Amino acid sequence: MRSSSPCLHLLSFRLHRVVQPNKSTARGRRILRTFHTMTAPHSSKFVKEEEVARGKWLSLNNMTYTDPTGKERTWECVKRTTRQEGSADAVGIIAILKRMLKFDCIVLVIQYRPPMKCCTVEFPAGLVDAGESPEKAALRELYEETGYTASVKHVTPAICFDPGVGNTTVQLVSVEELLTSKLAINGVFPTTSSTDRW
């Protein structure tokens, strides 16, 4: 939301009438600082980045930035080490299977996720390999994880699901015209290391 929007002007007017902070007191300065942070987040600026630790797939970094009041702060974040220039880190596939005389259904997969210490139900997904387009990566991951082939219908811009933790981005790819391969019918799917990386 831009700072010039009517909603923010109304919020500013109401806060001023209700709170009427006194700049000479610590509480008043704190209220003004909080309000300024709420209404002017775009004035925060990146300063520097320091890598703390690096693994095969992830790195831990300290990001230094200035908040809207000009105070310098540090934020811990996780970054992918596999990101390709100009590409999202991964793709998530929204595949709707149309069935004759039955309800359409969304294709989901069950995978064990070590960080959660349990299995999760999720959309087929995976990292984008070097030189791959989101469309190609989505069709590859869909086949590897479900045995289905399909055609791409739509690709979203890059989305960051958890910007408070890291900068990992995902593009959602919707597919249609799903076809079941012989492998899927027999319950045997290709196995690759890509599902271990996601």
pLDDT tens digits for the chain (198 residues)? Answer: 444 455 554 444 444 444 444 555 676 666 656 655 555 667 889 999 999 999 999 999 999 999 888 899 999 999 999 888 888 999 999 999 887 777 888 999 999 999 999 999 999 999 999 999 999 999 999 999 999 999 999 999 999 989 999 999 999 999 998 887 655 544 555 554 333 434
What domains are there in the chain, each with its CATH number?
1-36 (no CATH), 43-81 (no CATH), 90-197 (3.90.79.10)
Residue showing tokens 């196995």 = 191
Cα dihedral 173/178/182/184 (nearest 10): 60
Q: CA of 169: how far to CAs of 18, 110, 113, 126, 137, in Å?
A: 40, 21, 19, 11, 14
| Cα 9 from Cα 4, distance rounded (Å) | 7
pLDDT for 15 equals 45
Local structure of residue 129 (DSSP, 8 states): P
> Sheet of 45-54: strands edge to edge?
45-54, 58-66, 72-80
What is the value of pTM for the model shown?
Answer: 0.69
